[in-house]
Structure 1
Amino acid sequence: MDMHTEIRDFTVTVTKKEVVVAAQFPNQEHWLPLSNLDMCLVPPLDFSLYFCYTKPTCGDNWTFVSKVEVLKKALAKALVPYYALAGEIVPNSVGEPEILCNNRGVDFIEGFADIELQNLNLYRADETIGCKLVPKKKNGMLAVQVCRRTLALEI
């Protein structure tokens, strides 16, 4: 794709929202202080990642739904040792942000996009993709969104 390709707007339609919690919550609810570096970042540093995978072939037993289920189960297991990611940032008694490790969970969003991958302008991702493919976190520390190209039912 050319860097100067015209920007095409697209829509992501959310079909399902849920919260994935740690498979086992290892500790009692407790607080973790942020590091000095974390507290010095104004505004707080937030980053987004998105990954693209090939569509299953006809002979492949993996459907979109089955891949999403595996991803949710793996996330629940990963949150056991990294339980802080299932918490939320809240102010402590003196107003400083801290991590409340309470297994609130990770927002997990499913949807579909009305654009082909090759039509995304990745050279100007902030302008063209924005938060459409990567959701904004509401209360937690982490949010996951999975999208497919169409809403067509998989057989």
Structure 2
Amino acid sequence: MGSEGGGGELIVKVNKREVVAAVLPLQEHWLPLSNLDLLLPPVDVGVFFCYKKSTSLLGKDLSNNFGSMVGVLKKALAQALVTYYAFAGEVVSNPVGEPEILCNNRGVDFVEAFAEAELKDLNFYNPDDTIEGKLVPKKKHGVLAVQSVEYFSMK
């Protein structure tokens, strides 16, 4: 359901696309996949989290500033990618055609978007009808992609 409360479709509009890389330079190297990874079909896992709107984050007054919250998220992601560097790489074929992770700090695709809807109006019981493919971005080049969506109502 859209923000109209009827059968309207959720429209998510992208404001900005960028790539977030690890804050420290990394040594480029290859990580082979395990035998289990090679036997099973590729799995693309999508995760969707909702957070209550807050006026402060880490002691700073945000005054409901979505941009500030996204900035904190991107900074934290860049720091986490130092330890979890494989997520900043990309899946490529090795010389024998098997997929491997090239740890090259390509970065994570990060999308900022907004939607005119309230979370309470979305139909999470039947996501195929209204929200499928709109809340979690498709990975195009990297191992991980992140989308942050600001929801607001014009009611």
Answer yes or no: same fold by TM over 0.5.
yes
Write the distance in 1 (CA, Å) between the matches of 2:55 and 2:22: 32
Q: Which has the higher strand share?
A: 2
Write the distance in 1 (CA, Å) between the matches of 2:25 and 2:128: 36
Q: Secondary structure at the match of 2:147?
A: strand
Unaligned stretches of 5+ in structure 2?
none
> In structure 1, which of residues 121, 124, 131 is the aligned counterpart of residue 123 of structure 2?
121
Residue 40 (structure 1) aligns with: 39
Residue 55 (structure 1) aligns with: 53
Deviation at 1:57, TM superposition (A): 4.4
Deviation at 1:7, TM superposition (A): 4.5
- Cα 1:151–1:64 shift into 2, 3 Å: farther
Alignment of 1:6-155 (within 5 A): 7-26=7-26, 28-42=27-41, 44-57=42-55, 61-62=61-62, 63-150=65-152
Write the distance in 1 (CA, Å) between the matches of 2:87 and 2:55: 34
Number of residue equivalences: 146
- Conservation of the 8 A alpha-carbon contact between 2:118 and 2:152: no
Identity between Structure 1 and Structure 2 (%)? 59
- Cα 1:149–1:31 shift into 2, 3 Å: same
TM-score normalised by L of structure 2: 0.86
TM-score normalised by L of structure 1: 0.86
Q: Using the TM superposition, name which of 77-86 and 109-118 deviates more.
A: 109-118
Write the distance in 1 (CA, Å) between the matches of 2:105 and 2:129: 34
Q: Using the TM superposition, name which of 87-96 and 49-58 deviates more.
A: 49-58
Write the distance in 2 (CA, Å) between the matches of 1:57 and 1:67: 10
Q: Which runs of 4+ in 1 moved over 3 A?
A: 5-8
Deviations 1:86-128 (A, max 9, x none): 0000000010000000000000000101221111111122443
CA RMSD in angstroms, aligned pairs only: 2.3
- Conservation of the 8 A alpha-carbon contact between 1:8 and 1:119: no
- Cα 1:51–1:145 shift into 2, 3 Å: same
- Conservation of the 8 A alpha-carbon contact between 2:88 and 2:108: yes
